[in-house]
A = this chain, B = another copy of it.
């Protein structure tokens, strides 16, 4: 990888001046929404609406063309109709713009005429203008002060997760939902039809980007399979790459054709890609979010012996079924650990084999502490999964007993944090949305607050044991593979010309 992508892509992710070509004041149109979004998000550089029909748009002076802007422009967003895109892109090239994002749709995905337009755009790119899109929602780069459509509300602070997406919809959903789960993003790139900058360019850039520690993506097809494969093999050794491949079924592949018209490749090809490169495979947005959360918050973990601690026998049965189905190892504790646990939990209604049932969804804090401490220090376990204990008991009790709920759960939420700090073991919480109706909104507020408290302490919170188990298996498998790869005997096999 000789090219320094960091300098090459800097004008796109950290623009000093930004022209919006096709900006309008009508916020019902994409062209209006985009400028409004940029303004609401806040951009510290210079902003130039370009629209020959207006002299001013949303309070900013408007220029007839990018060529009329008196200062240098390093980045432009193009939101004019498809047929006008090549002309304004060529003007950008003339002006000396370094990078553009084309949000407009109506290219390859609509047929021969669009294909022609896209080819023209590719030719302009070849002359020295780097292009994101067309048919995309653009770039979110919080430290660069730019956001995707309609990402006015996305966090202003950045973080170690990058997301590349061939879907505009997921390029907004991933950071929107992720931010509520404690994820923060270095860059999100909706790259659409990829007439110039494609998945490989972006992965190369993010591999070099010191801000990015985890690369994630939604991909419908790749432009250059060989390059993609070799690149993933290299990147995955040091930065995890978590990918969701859309369109692997027949119906899905058909939908890809009308979306980005990418050539997908079948299920077998992708099986091989994941197996041979070490990229982490997920199959939906929830699994992508959950797996990323595990990578973000947990210490590397290649053994993955897990224990489940819940407050109910059925909860334990379900956890055991699910962990076995997804391949997460729940070993029965040795007799001496079971005996010690039995001396802590209530004499009846509990279970101590793994899963552990502490006999109540709201155990007293000292009891839960003793149970978790025993498992963390005496059982041969790497991960403690605290499953569906009710850290805020509000939903168990009538509204007028909020005070009592507080008494019941006094000190409970703190216990997993203390155990993690003391033992150094990974602790994971499962906290489902129990109160899902309008009348449960206050319980949900409590649940979210407690979740955020855990995120701060690097304890990931998942909605269900199934989602937790899947994320953990993805996480452990990646580290297990890398541990094997870096052992000397294995490495000599892998280092090929």
Contacts and interface: CB of A to CB of B under 8 A. Distances in A.
B28 A434 contact: no
A342 B216 CA distance: 34
Contact of A254 (B28, B353, B441): B353
Given A169-B388, A316-B259, A397-B153, A435 B180 contact: yes
A283 to B, nearest CB: 8
Interface string A388-405: 100000011110010010
Interface in A26-57: 27-28, 40
A128 interface: no
Interface string A338-358: 000000000111011101010
Contact of A252 (B177, B324, B388): B324
Contact of A177 (B359, B436, B452): B436
A247 interface: yes
Nearest to A176: B434
Contact of A438 (B114, B315, B445): B445
A152 B366 CA distance: 26
Interface residues of A, number: 98
Given A314-B246, A434-B173, A320 B254 contact: yes
Contacts of A106: 347-349
A147 to B, nearest CB: 11
Contacts of A181: 436-437
Given A27-B404, A255-B351, A351-B258, A466 B284 contact: yes
A408 interface: yes
Interface in A297-321: 310-321
A179 interface: yes
A330 interface: yes
7 contacts: A105-B359, A167-B314, A168-B313, A173-B434, A255-B355, A283-B321, A285-B318
